[in-house]
Amino acid sequence: MGDAVQLEVAGRTVRLTSPDRVFFPERGFTKLDVARYYAAVGPGILRALRNRPTTLERHPEGVTGEWFFQKRAPRNMPDWIPTARIAFPSGRTADEMCPTEEAAVVWAAQYGTLTFHPWPVRRDDVDHPDELRIDLDPQPGTDYEDAARAANELRAVLDAHGLRGWPKTSGGRGLHVFVPIEARWSFTEVRRAAIAVGREMERRMPERVTVKWWKEERGERVFLDYNQTARDRTVASAYSVRPHPHAPVSAPLRWEEVAVARPRDFDLATMPARFAELGDVHADMDDHAFSLEPLLELARRDERDHGLGDLPYPPEHPAMPGEPRRVQPSRARKPKPPAS
């Protein structure tokens, strides 16, 4: 696999073993290519990960081999990478790595990390998200273009409530829109705000957008996955490499690019050149922190005026107060007809 190499990354030396191991056979990209990619976009991905507890999606043998999520910080992690203790819905805890330097990302790449999944919190306050993350997930029969149309309407919804979002490709067919918020609200409240956004989107685009949790109810629409805001749910960070054969990356976009972008245009080979030319197009995101109160008021109005309360949580979560039954509609027991 070739001799180990030393990479200089923002003042630190990172040792990379087996640099010639092929991670993406379809494109021929190696482990060294992945590490060099992360060094090239270092300031951008560090902005997305800085001080955030981060789960590592590791593919030690490349995209055709076994892979796993690593939530607990690796035991051999250098002491210059800090950690934060996070609590799962089960009540268990774990210490997760919190990158504070570009070299931490390249160090993780040495161990086969392709995708970084940061929590929407910072290590100094792990119970109050500072980002509202909206995941637009195209369902069968829809594609990126449908997500792009939904994203532009989402932009109008956010603007109407005094908010601004920063869009990026998911690395697949979908789009993510991140809204920086004040770290004042709980995971439950942030999730409630995401549901309110989704319902407003349904009202505006009933044939194109849904918040239906059960797949059998979604139809050929874009699913606004409100549960990505639940505790211990994360999405791929900006600039993360995704484990698909063509080596796509999750690409930050400017709003004017959303309608014309094509996810396959952003990959391990093309993103470094884009970054060198444009820099991090989301660089100003941390300069803002919006209030979630307008969306929470929308949620209260939905419940008061329309009887729209909570929606189902993911299956691994304990039952939550006010949550409807987690029963797939086609399997729910039908009420018995009245006796004649």
Q: What is the pTM of this model?
A: 0.95
Evaluate the CA torsion angle 63, 66, 70, 75 in order and state its sign.
negative
User: Quick count: other Cβ atoms within 10 Å of Cβ 72?
Assistant: 14
End-to-end Cα, the chain, rounded Å: 78
Measured CA distances, 84 to 123, 127, 128 (Å): 5, 11, 14
- Whether 202 has a pLDDT exceeding 90, the answer reads yes
pLDDT tens column, 114-167:
999 999 999 999 999 999 999 999 999 999 999 999 999 999 999 999 999 999
Structure tokens, 242: 């995704």
Q: What pLDDT score was predicted for residue 327?
A: 86
pLDDT tens column, 288-297:
999 999 999 9
d(CA 238, CA 254): 13
Let me know: does 97 contact 53? Beta carbons within 8 Å: yes
- Whether 340 has a pLDDT exceeding 60, the answer reads no
- Whether 280 has a pLDDT exceeding 70, the answer reads yes
pLDDT band, very low/low/confident/very high, at 336 (cuts 50, 70, 90): low
The Cα angle at residue 169 between residues 147 and 173, in degrees rounded to 5:
50
Q: What pLDDT score was predicted for residue 216?
A: 95
d(CA 297, CA 280): 33
Structure tokens, 13: 């030396």
Nearest to 35 by CA among 50, 19, 13, 46: 19
pLDDT band, very low/low/confident/very high, at 326 (cuts 50, 70, 90): confident
Amino acid at site 242: R
pLDDT band, very low/low/confident/very high, at 2 (cuts 50, 70, 90): confident
